[in-house]
Chain A
C-alpha cells in the first residue's frame, strides 16, 4: 500500500516477519509525520521539521500543504507536479537500491540460488513428473501461503483495533531481532564463504552485534533518517533473499500474482483488513509503526505561516511547505525485490530479463504514484508494478532474449 503517510506492506509468510509486513497507514495528515505516536516515537522525530499544522488543517490534499489562502492555483499545481516528481524519485532510489543489493547477492553468492528445502508454508514439492501436477502443486502452495498471510493480517488488525500495543510491539521487536541478527549473520557468513575471506569469531560477533543493535535503535526508536532508511532497505533485501531461496520456482510466480490481487482487495475493499487498519489509525490520529514502513520524509524548514503584508501582489513568495513525503510499505520493497531477484536467478544468466523487470517495476511505481496524486488516499503499490514485472519477465525471457542474443552475436545494433 502506498500513501502519502500510509503505506502498505504485504504480509510475509514467516510469522516473525509477518508483523513487519502488515500494512500500516500512518496518519493521513501530510505534515504530521513528526508527531510522536503513543507507542513509540517515530524514529526520526527529532530530525523532522515541525508540524506545519497551521498551514493545512482543512486541506485534505496530502500532496501539497497548501494552507495559505490566496495562492494562485497555477502555482500550487505546478508545485504539485514538481514535488510529485520529487516524491517519485524519493521512492525510486530506495527501491532501486534494494533491488541492486538483491541482484548483486543473487549473482555472486551461490547460497541463495541453491535449493535447500522449502518453507513449511509451501509444503508441496515441485519435483513432479508432469507439468499439470507441478502447476497444481504451485497453486496449492500459493493458496496456503496467501491464507497464512490473510490470517496474520487479520490478526494484526484485530490486535491493533483492540489496542494490544504491547503485543504488537513485542512481535515487531522479535521480528526485527531475527532479521537484524540471525539473517544478517547468515548473509555475512555466505558472503565471506563466497569470497573466501576468513573472519574470526570476535570480529564477527562485534560486527553483527553493532549492526544489529544500531539497527534496532534506528528502526524502533530514534535515529538519523538516512540510517533508518538504509536499515529498512537492508532488512527488506534480506527478507527478499530468504523468499528467493526458499520459494520454489513456479510457486514464486503464482504467489507474486496472487499477492498483488490480495493487496488490491485488502487495501481498496471497504472491509479489507489493510483498509481497516488505515482507517483505524486515521481515527486515532496515530502514526503506524515505523518498523513496517519506509518513509521518504523530506525535512523542510517551515518557511512561512503568514503572508508578508508588504509583499502584496508578489506571487513569488518563497514557499517552504513541510512536505511529509511518501511512505511505502516494506512488503512492497520485498516483493519487488523478489520479482527482480527471481528474474536474475532463473533467467538463465541473462541480464536483459533482470533489467526489463526492473524498468517495468519502476514504471509501475510511477503510475501508482500518479494515481496516488489523483486519488489522494492509500493505494496498493503491488498490483501495477507486479503485473508489469510479470508480463515483462515472461515476454523478455521467451521472446526478447533469443532475439537480442542473435543480434549481439552478429554485432547488430538496433
Chain B
C-alpha cells in the first residue's frame, strides 16, 4: 500500500497501452478521435449491461446469498454479449465512414480498416482496463494491509496483470473481429465471443468471502476493516 505498489501496478496495467498510444495514436488526430469514440462505445455498452444487471437485481429483490453470485454471472454474460454487439455496431459505423472517406479522396493510406480495427480495439481495451482498475489503484494509495484476513497478499499485482491482459485482449479481439467482418468469416466472430466469455467468467471461489459481501462491494474486504480502524483519525 505504498507509492511503489501504486506506481508499479499502474505501469504494469497501463504501461503497454500507454506506449501503444504514444507511439502509434498520439501522432494522428484522426486516430485519437476514433480511439475516444471507441471508448465511448464501450462505455455505452457498459451502461446498458449495468442497467440490465440492476433491473435483474431489483426483480429478484436483492436477496443476499448465492442469488447475488448468479446475478453477477448473468450480468457478466449479458455484458460480454452487449460489448460484442457494440463492437459490431462500431464496425458498421466505421465501414460507412471509411467508405465515405474513400469517395471523397483517393488517398488509400488514409485510414485502412485494419488500422481502424486496431484503434477501436485499443479504445475498448483502454476504457475497459481503466474502469476495472482505477478504483483499486486509488485504494492502493491509502492505508491498509493487503491480505490481513488470510487472503492473498498479491491482490493488487494480480489485478494489475489481469487488467493488462484484458486491455491487450480487447485490442486483439478488435482486430480479429473486424477482420472476420471484412472477410465474412463468421467463425472469427464466434471465436472472439467465446474467448471473451471464457476470460470474463474466470473467477475465484466466491464462497471465501461471505461476510465481506455483506459490507458491500465498494472496497476489497480485507482492506476495509483495516481502513475502518484507521479511518477514525482520517477525515
A positions within 8 Å CB-CB of B:
74-75, 77-78, 81-82, 85-86, 88-89, 92, 110, 348-352, 355-356, 359-360, 362-363, 366, 392, 395-396, 399-400, 402-414
Contacts and interface: CB of A to CB of B under 8 A. Distances in A.
A291 to B, nearest CB: 28
A161 to B, nearest CB: 38
B199 A413 contact: yes
Contacts of B101: 78, 81
B105 A405 contact: no
Given A359-B43, A392-B43, A406-B217, A89 B33 contact: yes
Interface of B: 28-30, 32-33, 36-37, 39-40, 43, 46-47, 49-51, 53-54, 72, 75-76, 79-80, 83, 101, 104-107, 110, 127-128, 130-136, 138, 155, 158-159, 162-163, 165-166, 199-204, 206, 212, 216-218, 220-221, 235
B136 A77 contact: no
B53 to A, nearest CB: 5
A359 B39 contact: yes
Contacts of A82: 29-30
Contact of B158 (A81, A399, A411): A411
A400 B33 CA distance: 24
A290 to B, nearest CB: 25
A74 B36 contact: no
A414 B197 CA distance: 8
Nearest to B152: A411
A92 B54 contact: no
A396 B47 contact: yes
B203 A75 contact: no
A366 B33 contact: yes
Nearest to B80: A414
B134 A414 contact: no
A399 B72 contact: no
A75 to B, nearest CB: 7
A89 to B, nearest CB: 4
Contact of A74 (B39, B104, B155): B104
Main DSSP-derived SS at the A contact region: helix
Given A352-B131, A404-B135, 4 more contacts: A78-B101, A350-B135, A410-B72, A410-B204
Contact of A399 (B36, B50, B80): B50
Given A410-B204, A413-B199, A414-B80, A405 B217 contact: yes
Contacts of A362: 36
A414 B76 contact: yes
Given A352-B134, A392-B43, A413-B128, A407 B72 contact: yes
Contacts of B43: 356, 359-360, 392
Contact of A411 (B80, B128, B135, B203): B203
A408 B47 contact: no
A209 B235 CA distance: 34
Contacts of B206: 410
Contacts of A86: 29
Contact of B76 (A363, A366, A396, A407): A407
A360 B40 contact: yes
Contacts of A88: 29, 33
Nearest to B101: A81
B149 to A, nearest CB: 14
B105 A412 contact: no
A72 to B, nearest CB: 9
Contacts of A395: 47, 50-51
A400 B135 CA distance: 13
- Among B37, B43, B212, max chain A CB count under 10 A is at B43
Contacts of A78: 101, 104-105, 107, 110
Nearest to B83: A414
22 contacts: A77-B105, A82-B29, A86-B29, A89-B32, A351-B134, A351-B138, A359-B39, A366-B33, A392-B47, A395-B50, A400-B50, A400-B131, A402-B54, A403-B75, A405-B217, A405-B218, A410-B203, A411-B203, A412-B76, A412-B203, A413-B162, A414-B132
Nearest to A388: B40
Contact of A403 (B49, B166, B201): B49
Nearest to B31: A85
A364 B113 CA distance: 25
Contacts of A77: 104-105
B173 to A, nearest CB: 12
Nearest to B51: A399
A396 B43 CA distance: 9
B134 to A, nearest CB: 4
Nearest to B105: A78
A359 B40 contact: yes
Nearest to B78: A414
A366 B36 contact: yes
B30 A85 contact: yes
A85 B216 CA distance: 44
Q: Which 3 A-B pairs have the closest CB atoms?
A: A78-B105, A85-B29, A89-B29
A408 B33 contact: no
A384 to B, nearest CB: 13
A210 to B, nearest CB: 32
A409 B217 contact: yes
Nearest to A365: B36
Contacts of A352: 131, 134-135
B74 to A, nearest CB: 12
Contacts of B131: 352, 355, 400, 404
A348 B29 CA distance: 34
A38 B104 CA distance: 42
